[in-house]
Amino acid sequence: MGRILVACEFSGIVRRAFAARGHDAWSCDLLPAEDRSNKHITGDVRGILDDGWDMLIVAHPPCTRLCNSGVRWLSAPPAGRTLDEMWADLDAGAALFSDLWNAPVERIAVENPVMHKHAKARIRNYQEPVQSVQPWQFGHGETKRTCLWLKNLPPLVPTNIVEGREPRVHHMSPGPDRWKERSRFFPGIAEAMADQWGELPLQSDLFERATA
Ligand SMILES: C[S@@+](CC[C@H](N)C(=O)[O-])C[C@H]1O[C@@H](n2cnc3c(N)ncnc32)[C@H](O)[C@@H]1O
């Protein structure tokens, strides 16, 4: 069983899916874990990327300045913000994505919305995403197109195509925690990752077999 790091996750949704299949799965976020798990590291994930992980799953790094839907702010900033601040946010978001994408881990998945050209140009060793998925392909009657940038991982195969096609935001009530609800990972996609990727040969398995 592998050592799995789920980065930028406070909800524990992907961590729990891998843990349920016997993996040594950890989450890391600047925020504490909602489920108060002792397998959560609160802090900057960049400090633990070298700690011998078999798989790194980034369940949606902060994307406001990287994704197509926010590109307009780079020419006309929102009220109260300057253009310089917008570009500095973009640099910071792209630097984090870059560090995660180039982490010393054999198998990597990064999940994020469609990215604009200014973000792509700032990411080291950038490659186009291998696929995009929708929650309605994994049992949730919602739309939210999500791209997957994959290293040494096969594309996810849909597990349960359902009828509903409502944008996720329609399910949310307004309030200070709305961003959290919107960014929470879809359990159906987490289950598919754990089923389809958790069975792949991992460095830890090879090491255990060699030393048995
Ligand atoms: C869009 S949310 C993703 C939430 C995730 N899908 C979940 O279900 O918990 C992005 C998260 O990245 C975290 N984050 C931002 N920078 C980080 C860093 N350097 N290290 C670890 N987490 C970070 C934020 O605190 C935020 O919770």
- CB of 92 closer than 6 angstroms to any ligand 1 atom: no
Beta bridge partners of 4: 25, 55
Ligand 1 pocket member 194 (CB < 6 A): no
Q: Given this model, what pLDDT does residue 76 score?
A: 87
What are the structure tokens assigned to 184, written together? Answer: 């929470």
Q: Is residue 174 part of a domain?
A: no
Q: Is residue 27 assigned to a domain?
A: yes
**What is the pLDDT at residue 60?**
82
In this structure, is residue 56 part of a structural domain?
yes
Instruction: State the distance from the centre of ligand 1 to the C-alpha of 19, rounded, in angstroms.
Output: 20
N residues, the chain? 212
Q: Is residue 181 part of a domain?
A: no
Helices (H) and strands (E) in the chain, counts: 6, 9
Is 162 within the bounds of a domain? Answer: no
- Tokens 């791209």: give the residue: 147
CB of 89 shorter than 6 A to ligand 1:
no
Number of domains, the chain: 1
Can you give the pLDDT at residue 182? 80
The pLDDT, as a whole number, for residue 170 is: 60
Instruction: In whole angstroms, give the CA distance from residue 151 to residue 101.
Output: 9
Nearest CA to ligand 1 atom 18: 44
CATH number for the domain that contains residue 80: 3.40.50.150
CA of 211 to the centre of ligand 1 (A): 36
Could you tell me the residue range of the domain that residue 60 belongs to?
Answer: 3-134+145-153+186-204
- Among 5, 10, 27, 172, say which to mutate for ligand 1: greatest number of ligand atoms within 8 Å of CB: 10
Does residue 161 lie in a domain region?
no
The predicted structure's pLDDT at residue 171: 58
Which pair of structure tokens corresponds to residue 147?
């791209």
The one-digit pLDDT tens for each residue of the chain (212 residues) are 899 999 999 999 999 999 999 999 999 999 999 999 999 999 999 999 999 999 999 988 777 788 888 888 888 888 999 999 999 999 999 999 999 999 999 999 999 999 999 999 999 999 999 999 999 999 999 999 999 999 999 999 999 999 977 776 665 666 767 777 788 899 999 999 999 999 998 766 666 666 66
- Ligand 1 centroid to residue 202 C-alpha, Å: 25
pLDDT of 121 reads 96
Backbone angles phi, psi at 28, to 5 degrees: -145, 135
The answer to whether position 211 is within a domain reads no
Distance CA(86)–CA(79), nearest Å, equals 12
**Does 180 fall in a domain?**
no
